[in-house]
C-alpha cells in the first residue's frame, strides 16, 4: 500500500455537515414506524397458509411495502426509522409471552429468583453480527440461487420450509430495492440540472446492488447499508452489530485506490454518511448499541489493521453521536502505531472508546473448544458480548445474575435483607450453621449452580419458543451452517448455539467472602451471629466493626489472599457456565460487564460482610471496588489481570476512569500497553473532569454532547437516569 495508515488525515466536507445536521433533525423526529401495521395486514392475508409459510410471507410482504425515503445530499439510499411513533398493534410473531407461560409451568423457581433480584428473567434476543460480506461478494441473487438449489433436495420437511422462508425474505429485499430504484428514476426525471449527476449515480448503483456483487467501495457501502436495514427490520434488537466493518469493506476501497478511482477523501465522505445513517435510525436510544469492531487479526493470526481502520476511528471521533459504537481490537501481532492510536482514542474520543486485546480474548474463546480461526473472527455484539462474526444464534446475551445477592441469601439462610422475603423452594442454612468456611463456600457454590442452571433452562425454553414463533429467515441466510443444515438459526442451524449471561458484582462478593473468612473463620474476632446482626442493622450501632471490616485487604490491592478469593469465585462461576450444554449442544458463557446496572443491582443488596452499607453501587465488570483501588492504578490492574481471565469465554470488561489532567498521551499509551501485556481483555473508562459532570447535571441544556462511558456502552450524560449519573460521578478516578 502506498498509504501509511497511521498518517491518514481527512476533513469533514460541507456536504457531510449539512447531511449530519438534517439527520439529527430526522433522528429526533422520526417518521412513523409502519412495520407493525404492515405485518399484521400481511399476517391476516395469509391466514390459510401453513404456519411457517404464513410467518415468512407476512415478514416478506411487510418489508417490501415499507416506506421509501430519498433525502437531499445523500450518496447512499435507504432508511427505516425504528423508533418513530408506533401503533399499538398485536405482534403475531411474538415469542415472549408463550415463553413466559412455558417458564411459569416448567420452571416455577425462575419467578422466585427474579422476584428476589438474584437474576433477570432471561431471554433477550440480538447481540450478534451476520455475514453481510456474502451479499457484497455474491449479491442477493447469488445467495438466492444457492437456496433455490438447496430447495430442490431438502433433507426433510423442516429444511424445505426453511429454504422457502429464506427465498421469500431475500426476494423481498430485491422488491424493496426495486421500489427505491423507481423512486430514484422519478426523482431524476424531475430533478434540476445540478442534481441529475448525483441521482443518476445513485440509480446506477442501486440497480447493481444489493442484487449483484459489489465492484467498488461505493457499491459495497450501499450494499452493506441496504442489507443492514433489511435484516434489522426483521431483527430490530439492541446489540445486533455491523461487526468487522473495516475487515470486509477494505478490499473494495483498496481496489478503488489502486485503480485510481477515488482517494481517502472520497472514502471519508462515504464512511461519514454511513455512520450518520446508522446513528439516525436509533438516535434517541444511546443504549441500543450497534458496534463496529475495528482492527484485530486475520484467521491466520496476522494483523488485519488497514487504512480503513484508521479512517473509521477518525470519522467517528469527529461526529457527535453514539452509534455505531467504534471499538478497537489490538491484534495479536504487535502494532505499536495502532496501539498508540487506540490510546489517543481513549483520551480524545469523548469517552466512547473500548479497547479489546486479541492476544488475551482469542485464547479464552479457544479454551471453550472453539477453533482458533473462528475465535479470531470475534466481534462485540453490542456492548462487548464476544462471539464470532456470523456464527452464533441470536440468544447470545440473555440477562444478568447478581452474585452478591446470591451470597446474601446464603449468608442469611434465604432472607432478602432489603425486603424480608425468603426463598421458598430451597432450604438454606445461615452462616451461623457452618463451622468451617469451606463448608459454607461449598453450599454457596451449590446454590449458585442451582440458580444458574434454572437460568439456563429458561433459555432453552426461550430458544425453542423463538424458533417456533419468530423464525429469522434473513438473519439465518447470513449465519454459517444454516443452509447446509437446513435449519433456522435458533432451530439448530447456527454453527454455535451458545448462550451468554452477565454475572455481576464478582469483586463485591469476593471482598465479602474474604472478609467473613478472615474475621469469622481464620482470626475468630467476629462470630457469624455478630456479623449477621450487624448487616441486618445496616451497621447502625456497629461503626467500629464496619471500619474494621473495611480495613481488611481487598481485591485490587495485590494482596495475594484477597486476589485469590476473587480468582476462586470467578473460576467457579465460569465452571458452572461451562458445564451447561444448551439444547443444541452449545455452551453457556460468562459475559462480564455492568451496563447501567451498577446502581440498580447494588440497590437490591443489604449491607455486606466487607463493611459496605446497603444499597451501594456494585463494581464494574471485573474492576476492583473503589476500596480496592487504594494502592494505585498499576496494582489494581495487576490484581485484575491475575484473575483466570482465560476462562471467561464471553470476555471480561474493566472500567478505569482517569483524571484528565493526569492522563497525558504517554501515560495512557503506557497504561494500555501494560494492560494488554499483563493479560487484560477489555479496557474502557472516562477521561472527563468530575466538575464538568456536576455542571452538566445542573445545566443539561449546555452539555448535550457530553458523552460518558456507562458500562459497556457510551451515552449522552444528560440523557441518563440521575441514579446512573450519580454513580458515574462517584466512581474512583485514578490520578498521580
Average pLDDT over residues 686-696: 96
pLDDT digits (tens, 9 = 90+) for 128-159: 999 999 999 999 999 999 999 999 999 999 99
CB 51 within 8 A of CB 23: no
| 55: in domain | yes
Q: Is the pLDDT of residue 398 over 50?
A: yes
pLDDT, position 8: 60
pLDDT digits (tens, 9 = 90+) for 436-465: 999 999 999 999 999 999 999 999 999 999
| 41: in domain | no
Q: Report strand pairing: 499-504 vs 588-590.
A: parallel
Strand partners, 325: 291
Average pLDDT over residues 244-273: 97
Average pLDDT over residues 83-100: 92
Domain residues for the domain of 81 are: 48-98+134-234
Containing 246, the helix (H) or strand (E) segment is helix 245-259
**Residue 424 confidence class, pLDDT cut points 50, 70, 90:** very high
**Residue 3 confidence class, pLDDT cut points 50, 70, 90:** very low
| 73: in domain | yes
Give the residue among 232, 130, 145, 60 at the shortest CA–CA distance from 482: 130
pLDDT digits (tens, 9 = 90+) for 600-625: 999 999 999 999 999 999 999 999 99
**Could you tell me what percent of the chain has a pLDDT over 70?**
99
CA pair distance 273, 372, nearest whole angstrom: 35
pLDDT, position 628: 97
Q: How confident is the prediction for the chain on average, in pLDDT?
A: 96
**Could you tell me what percent of the chain has a pLDDT over 90?**
96
CB crowding 191-214: b at 16 or more within 10 Å, else e: eeeeeeebbeebbebbebbbbbbb
pLDDT, position 5: 52
| 429: in domain | no
Which residues are CB-contacts of 701 (< 8 A; sequence separation ≥ 6)?
none
CB crowding 551-586: b at 16 or more within 10 Å, else e: ebbbbbbbbeebbebbbbbbebbbebbbebebbbeb
CB 652 within 8 A of CB 616: no
pLDDT digits (tens, 9 = 90+) for 513-547: 999 999 999 999 999 999 999 999 999 999 999 99
Q: Is the pLDDT of residue 382 over 70?
A: yes
Cα angle value 342/344/346 (rounded, 5°): 70
pLDDT digits (tens, 9 = 90+) for 339-358: 999 999 999 999 999 999 99
| 67: in domain | yes
Please state the domain count of the chain: 1
| 471: in domain | no
Q: Is the pLDDT of residue 249 over 70?
A: yes
Average pLDDT over residues 162-176: 98
pLDDT, position 409: 98
**Residue 401 confidence class, pLDDT cut points 50, 70, 90:** very high
**Residue 7 confidence class, pLDDT cut points 50, 70, 90:** very low
pLDDT, position 2: 39
pLDDT, position 672: 98
| 53: in domain | yes
Containing 163, the helix (H) or strand (E) segment is helix 157-190
For 243, other C-beta atoms within 10 Å of its C-beta total 27
Strands (E), 551-668: 588-590, 653-655
Average pLDDT over residues 559-580: 98
CB 518 within 8 A of CB 559: no
pLDDT, position 637: 98
Secondary structure letter of residue 301 according to DSSP: S
| 176: in domain | yes
Q: Is the pLDDT of residue 190 over 60?
A: yes
Amino acid at each position: 500500500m502506498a498509504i501509511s495508515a497511521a498518517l491518514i488525515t481527512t476533513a469533514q466536507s460541507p456536504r457531510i455537515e449539512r447531511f449530519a445536521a438534517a439527520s439529527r433533525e430526522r433522528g429526533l423526529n422520526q417518521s412513523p414506524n409502519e412495520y407493525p401495521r404492515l405485518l399484521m395486514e400481511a399476517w391476516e392475508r395469509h391466514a390459510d397458509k401453513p404456519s411457517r409459510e404464513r410467518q415468512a410471507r407476512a415478514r416478506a410482504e411487510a418489508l417490501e411495502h415499507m416506506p421509501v425515503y430519498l433525502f437531499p445530499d445523500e450518496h447512499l439510499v435507504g432508511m427505516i426509522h425504528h423508533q418513530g411513533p408506533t401503533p399499538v398493534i398485536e405482534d403475531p410473531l411474538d415469542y415472549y409471552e408463550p415463553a413466559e407461560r412455558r417458564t411459569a409451568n416448567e420452571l416455577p423457581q425462575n419467578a422466585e429468583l427474579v422476584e428476589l433480584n438474584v437474576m433477570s428473567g432471561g431471554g433477550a434476543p440480538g447481540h450478534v453480527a451476520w455475514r453481510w460480506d456474502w451479499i457484497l461478494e455474491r449479491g442477493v441473487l447469488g445467495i438466492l440461487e444457492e437456496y433455490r438449489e438447496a430447495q430442490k433436495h431438502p433433507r426433510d420437511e423442516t429444511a424445505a420450509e426453511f429454504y422457502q422462508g429464506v427465498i421469500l425474505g431475500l426476494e423481498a429485499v430485491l422488491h424493496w430495492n426495486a421500489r427505491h430504484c423507481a423512486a430514484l428514476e422519478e426523482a431524476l426525471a424531475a430533478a434540476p440540472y445540478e442534481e441529475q449527476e448525483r441521482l443518476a449515480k445513485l440509480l446506477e448503483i442501486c440497480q447493481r446492488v444489493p442484487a449483484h456483487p459489489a465492484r467498488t467501495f461505493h457499491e459495497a457501502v450501499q450494499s452493506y447499508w441496504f442489507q443492514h436495514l433489511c435484516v434489522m427490520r426483521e431483527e430490530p434488537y439492541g446489540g445486533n452489530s455491523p461487526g468487522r466493518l473495516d475487515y470486509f469493506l477494505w478490499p473494495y476501497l483498496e481496489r478503488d485506490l489502486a485503480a485510481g478511482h477515488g482517494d481517502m477523501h472520497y472514502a471519508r465522505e462515504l464512511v461519514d454518511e454511513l455512520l450518520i445513517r446508522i446513528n439516525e435510525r436509533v438516535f434517541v436510544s444511546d443504549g441500543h448499541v450497534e458496534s463496529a469492531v475495528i482492527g484485530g487479526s486475520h484467521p491466520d493470526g496476522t494483523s488485519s489493521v488497514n487504512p480503513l481502520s484508521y479512517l473509521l476511528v477518525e470519522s467517528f471521533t469527529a461526529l457527535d453521536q453514539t452509534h455505531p459504537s467504534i471499538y478497537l481490537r489490538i491484534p495479536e501481532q504487535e502494532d505499536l502505531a495502532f496501539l498508540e492510536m487506540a490510546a489517543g482514542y481513549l483520551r480524545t474520543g469523548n469517552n466512547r472508546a473500548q479497547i479489546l486485546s486479541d492476544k488475551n480474548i482469542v485464547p479464552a474463546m479457544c479454551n471453550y473448544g472453539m477453533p482458533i480461526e473462528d475465535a479470531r473472527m470475534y466481534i462485540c455484539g453490542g456492548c462487548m458480548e464476544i462471539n464470532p462474526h456470523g456464527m452464533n444464534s441470536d440468544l447470545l446475551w440473555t440477562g444478568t445474575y447478581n452474585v452478591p445477592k446470591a451470597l446474601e441469601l446464603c449468608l442469611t439462610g434465604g432472607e432478602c435483607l432489603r425486603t424480608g422475603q425468603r426463598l421458598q423452594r430451597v432450604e438454606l442454612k445461615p452462616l451461623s450453621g457452618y463451622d468451617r468456611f469451606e463448608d459454607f463456600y461449598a453450599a454457596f457454590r451449590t446454590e449458585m449452580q442451582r440458580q444458574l442452571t434454572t437460568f439456563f433452562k429458561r433459555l432453552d425454553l426461550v430458544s425453542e419458543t423463538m424458533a417456533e414463533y419468530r423464525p429469522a429467515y434473513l438473519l439465518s441466510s447470513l449465519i454459517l451452517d444454516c443452509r447446509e443444515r437446513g435449519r433456522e438459526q435458533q432451530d439448530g442451524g447456527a454453527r454455535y448455539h451458545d448462550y451468554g449471561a452477565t454475572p455481576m458484582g464478582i469483586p463485591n462478593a469476593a471482598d465479602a467472602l474474604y472478609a467473613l473468612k478472615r474475621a469469622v473463620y481464620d482470626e475468630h474476632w467476629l462470630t457469624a451471629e455478630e456479623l449477621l446482626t450487624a448487616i441486618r442493622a445496616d451497621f447502625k450501632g456497629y461503626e467500629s466493626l464496619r471500619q474494621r471490616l473495611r480495613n481488611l485487604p481487598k481485591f485490587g490491592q495485590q494482596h495475594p489472599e484477597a486476589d485469590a478469593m476473587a480468582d476462586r469465585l470467578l473460576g467457579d462461576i465460569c465452571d458452572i457456565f461451562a458445564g451447561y450444554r444448551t439444547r443444541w449442544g452449545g455452551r453457556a458463557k460468562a459475559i462480564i460487564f455492568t451496563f447501567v446496572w451498577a446502581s440498580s443491582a447494588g440497590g437490591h443488596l443489604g449491607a455486606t460482610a466487607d463493611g459496605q452499607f446497603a444499597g451501594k453501587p456494585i463494581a464494574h465488570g471485573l474492576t476492583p471496588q473503589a476500596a480496592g483501588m487504594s494502592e494505585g492504578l498499576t496494582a489494581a490492574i495487576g490484581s485484575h489481570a491475575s484473575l483466570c481471565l482465560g476462562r471467561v469465554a464471553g470476555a471480561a470488561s474493566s472500567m478505569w476512569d482517569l483524571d484528565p489532567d493526569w492522563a497525558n498521551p504517554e501515560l495512557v499509551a503506557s497504561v494500555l500497553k501494560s494492560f494488554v501485556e499483563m493479560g487484560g481483555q477489555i479496557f474502557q473508562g472516562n477521561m472527563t473532569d468530575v466538575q464538568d459532570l456536576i455542571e452538566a447535571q445542573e445545566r443539561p441544556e449546555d452539555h448535550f454532547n457530553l458523552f460518558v462511558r456507562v458500562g459497556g456502552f457510551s451515552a449522552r450524560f444528560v440523557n441518563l437516569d440521575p441514579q446512573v449519573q450519580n454513580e458515574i460521578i462517584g466512581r474512583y478516578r485514578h490520578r498521580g
